[in-house]
Every structure is written in structure tokens, then in C-alpha cells.
Amino acid sequence: MEVQCKKCGSVNRIQNVSQQPYRCGKCGAFLPTSQQSGDTSQAVGLIGGAALGAAIGGPVGAIVGGVLGAILGKEGKGGS
Ligand SMILES: [Zn+2]
């Protein structure tokens, strides 16, 4: 996966996320590599969007809402 440094903006390629913490190869700042938090925010967006979609338009709305929520959740963590 690729993680963009929040400090200098350079993209760091990370092979093994379990080897934490990771530091930016350019400026040495810690990178937000916790894959779990990223997955969680996406899952939260997915669930939230699905719930919202279900409230609006039943099963189809849930699917649309889930996709939308996943996108929103991904955006919320600052993109990839
Ligand atoms: Zn950096």
C-alpha cells in the first residue's frame, strides 16, 4: 500500500504494515500506517451509508448508500 506523508506529502510505499511504526522516507515523520483505523473508518462509512440508504430506498438504497458511505469513509481518512 502507499501512504502519503501528512507532513511533506511524499508517497511512501509500505510492504508490511505490521512493522510499525513507519517513518516518512523523506522527512522522517511518522506515517499514518495503521491499516486497522483505515479499515474501520471505511467500514463505519459503509455501515452508516448502508443504514442511510436503507432508510431511503430499501435494499437498493442500502447498496447505493453502502458504496457512497465507503467512498465518504475513505475520503474521511484523507484518501490513499
Ligand atoms: Zn514526509
Write the pLDDT tens digit of every residue in 70-80: 888 887 776 55
In this prediction the pTM is: 0.38
**Proportion of the chain in helix, strand, coil states, percent, rounded to 5:** 50, 10, 40
Query: Is the peptide bond preceding residue 59 cis, with omega within 30 degrees of 0?
Result: no
pLDDT cut 70: percent of the chain above it: 65
User: In 3-state terms, what secondary structure has residue 62?
Assistant: helix
Confidence at residue 10, expressed as pLDDT on a 0 to 100 scale: 92
Q: Which amino acid is at 1?
A: M
* Span from the CA of 42 to the centroid of ligand 1 (angstroms): 24
What mean pLDDT is predicted for residues 29-55?
67
* Span from the CA of 12 to the centroid of ligand 1 (angstroms): 8
Instruction: Give residue 74's region: left, alpha or beta (phi > 0; psi -120 to 50).
Output: alpha
pLDDT band at 8 (very low <50, low <70, confident <90, very high): very high
* Span from the CA of 54 to the centroid of ligand 1 (angstroms): 41
Structure-block grid coordinates of residue 21: 511504526
* Span from the CA of 47 to the centroid of ligand 1 (angstroms): 32
